[in-house]
Structure 1
């Protein structure tokens, strides 16, 4: 299932804590604190795995706090709630996109009647970025036995997903019809930090922490969804799995996946059918690939008249293939299983053919081939 992760937004971060200064620190104190941390964390000096990420973080903090206008806007954004909700447009709850709906919870309940009770909650995510994105599909796997797959079945599912916000009708904005240019980056989606005077490193460019690289922000964010245009909710869907379904088949319900942000289209709900009896497991797959791998050498031996010399190699490969298929559960039944097995054989044939051709080319270029007049292959 796609949880559509996003980077932490501007007012989720405590820039003062990152730099280790108080909220009433002077510009000079902020500059000195940044210099000390940047010297220790710059990737050219610090080889720790997280040094580059921490350097970018302190640079981002300095870029905002060293600019009076950006600092004032940042302080205003964090003054509205314990999470640092913004104060733009008179909003009292801040802005944001929903957090991961599937963290720490089983998103599915099967059977009739539906076990889940529809619920809705607002987000604790704080961001006013205007970033229209199509919603991701919600995908589940359902295992069926062969008889059920042959007859077909109906399944009810209760699951969590993003849905369009009822208050702003999915736009993310209550009053304004259009997004506005990000005041932090001026619409570029990036902010620049000149480190030439401090360390001689030149200009560093990073993603704007307020618009998250979009260049636009929601002018008057909806308090219910935080400006994203969608909220987390429980949904129910009935999936009709048709008769004669096979392992790997998909049943798609249009528009029942995650809603898009800021009015974008919704994804689909996808039910992926699994039939264990039709599935070629990993060991069986390796066995059939081994069978395919030896076939080009069998043909090469027959054509060149060297089948006798290749016999030990072919016997060893056949034994290995047999052991792999046997340990994987043996040979399955049904046309779908054999089609998948044949696909693995074909993959093995391609690998074996490439190696066989390489061996022929190497022989043709060898001194022995020139001495024997090319005979023997």
Structure 2
């Protein structure tokens, strides 16, 4: 959980009035502003002091902040201890942190502690990412098709809160710090003539919604990390690098959002072009245009011999890999690597020919004397 001391960040006492807080922020902001301070961490520190100022300069936010630090989440609302975490009326403002003794404004910079009671957590549904698993296949399995079982780590919906992130509530609530806008305004009219500076609300992380009773198992994210098993069916005719998708078996989304897919990627050693062979094909391709240029000269000159050395070296690299890669797919990929090197070198050959044709004209230009 986030336990930043905003008073310490601004360098003021807990009894500082609004003017002292503004003055302290002004001094620090002028030193840390990215347009003035080019240090690598200046921007991050500027955001931190802006966050501290945004909370402490607002009486309501400061009261909630102080209440949370004192361990009484209801002190800011004048109600003493409440009997329910939803106390505070229909808006629920008095109960977003009720009964959990958490620390406010902590949704953006910290991971909640598993199994601990805490304050409101940002509600931020995001679709789960895909999980990519490499599966080794033999040439026979590629030819005939195969089903492969795999084990992998992924996030799955939390069993305690069923993926919602909330223990007892079936929906999120409007963030009390930003009123659902997802942003907080910091008045900087006294600093660089900047007016009002908008920053992402640190409590809801910009989503505009919070969960007032985060699940202790997943910390309010709605998902937990587990080891999963799945069967991936690779159809006949696949090749190295081809993929198969198993829908919904990737990472679960946060707060009930859709899950990603499990992606099985075929790895066929006999078809894979990498390492020595790839460099060999590429070197041969780069040497070939220069050998052609030397051949156009009509004789095996020293230049031709120099160009022949890397070509032979690349050919040796390729021949060493041929016994373990007797595959047409491997040869096709080798040809592409050769062609890539050939086209790159051909560009320089064209430049050389153009340069030679231009400079040779200087020596054969007729001279006229009057």
Task: Give the TM-score normalised by the residue count of structure 1.
Answer: 0.70
State how many pairs are aligned: 336
In structure 2, distance between residues paired with 1:124 and 1:248: 46
Mapped pair 1:136 → 2:144: no
Partner of 1:210, secondary structure, is coil
In structure 2, distance between residues paired with 1:93 and 1:157: 43
Cα–Cα, structure 1 residues 258 and 203, in superposed 2: closer, same or farther, change >3 Å?
A: same
- Using the TM superposition, give the Cα deviation of residue 237 of structure 1 relative to its aligned residue in structure 2, in angstroms: 1.8
For structure 1, the residue ranges without an aligned partner over 5 or more in a row are: 1-8, 101-120
Partner of 1:142, secondary structure, is strand
CA RMSD of aligned residues (A): 4.2
- Using the TM superposition, give the Cα deviation of residue 345 of structure 1 relative to its aligned residue in structure 2, in angstroms: 1.3
In structure 1, distance between residues paired with 2:118 and 2:133: 26
* Equivalent in the alignment of 1:27: 18
* Equivalent in the alignment of 1:111: none
Mapped pair 1:231 → 2:220: no
Larger radius of gyration: 2
1:54 pairs with one of 27, 45, 49:
45
Q: How does 1:338-357 map to 2 (within 5 A)?
A: 338-357=331-350
Residues 163 and 255 of structure 2 are in contact (CA less than 8 Å); yes or no, is this contact kept in structure 1?
yes
Partner of 1:49, secondary structure, is coil
In structure 2, distance between residues paired with 1:48 and 1:124: 38
Partner of 1:239, secondary structure, is strand
* Equivalent in the alignment of 1:197: 190
* Equivalent in the alignment of 2:61: 70
1:269 pairs with one of 252, 257, 262:
262
Task: Give the TM-score normalised by the residue count of structure 2.
Answer: 0.71
1:92 pairs with one of 89, 96, 100:
100
In structure 1, distance between residues paired with 2:245 and 2:118: 30
Cα–Cα, structure 1 residues 93 and 161, in superposed 2: closer, same or farther, change >3 Å?
A: farther
1:161 pairs with one of 141, 146, 154:
154
Residues 173 and 212 of structure 2 are in contact (CA less than 8 Å); yes or no, is this contact kept in structure 1?
no
Q: How does 1:1-377 map to 2 (within 5 A)?
A: 11=2, 13-21=4-12, 23=14, 25-75=16-66, 79=71, 88=96, 90=98, 92=100, 128-144=121-137, 154-166=147-159, 168-172=161-165, 175=169, 177=171, 179=172, 181-198=174-191, 204-214=197-207, 216-218=208-210, 220-224=212-216, 225-242=218-235, 246-300=239-293, 305=297, 308=300, 311-322=304-315, 324-325=317-318, 332-363=325-356, 366-369=358-361
For structure 2, the residue ranges without an aligned partner over 5 or more in a row are: 74-93, 366-370
Residues 244 and 265 of structure 2 are in contact (CA less than 8 Å); yes or no, is this contact kept in structure 1?
yes
Partner of 1:60, secondary structure, is helix
- Using the TM superposition, give the Cα deviation of residue 318 of structure 1 relative to its aligned residue in structure 2, in angstroms: 0.9
Cα–Cα, structure 1 residues 197 and 241, in superposed 2: closer, same or farther, change >3 Å?
A: same
Residues 96 and 120 of structure 2 are in contact (CA less than 8 Å); yes or no, is this contact kept in structure 1?
no
